């Protein structure tokens, strides 16, 4: 009968890279959370641009109303429209 393999032995869990797997998982989690922080900065910029776009849309509506007497209702944008 062959010798029992190390992966079958519960006492040698350290030799199987158990903690290496845990550290790798935490490292990946940290990497993902850094990416999310960068996305938040981009989202803030995007929200600013969308706000400016909506302001310009409102100005166009006001111009049509004052110049031509036409009441125009243009769609407003949200940040999720550009994702």
In eight-state DSSP terms, residue 79 is G
Tell me the whole-structure pTM to 2 decimals.
0.51
CB count within 10 Å of CB 50 equals: 17
Instruction: Count Cβ atoms within 10 A of the Cβ of residue 73 and give its class: 0-12 exposed, 13-18 middle, 19 or more buried.
Output: exposed
DSSP-assigned states of every residue in 20-73: HHHHHHHHHHHHHHHHHHHHHHHHHHHHHHHHHHHHHHHHHHHHHHHHH-----
Please report the pLDDT score of residue 12 as a whole number. 58
At 47-79, the pLDDT tens digits run: 899 999 999 999 999 999 999 998 999 999 888
Looking at the chain, the whole-number percentage of residues with pLDDT higher than 70 is 63
């Amino acid at each position: 009968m062959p010798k029992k393999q190390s992966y079958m032995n519960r006492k040698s869990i350290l030799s199987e890279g158990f903690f290496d797997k845990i550290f790798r998982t935490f490292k990946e989690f940290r990497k993902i959370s850094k990416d999310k922080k960068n996305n938040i900065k981009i989202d803030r910029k995007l929200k600013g641009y969308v706000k400016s776009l909506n302001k310009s849309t409102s100005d166009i509506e006001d111009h049509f109303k004052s110049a031509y007497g036409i009441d125009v209702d243009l769609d407003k944008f949200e940040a999720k429209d550009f994702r």
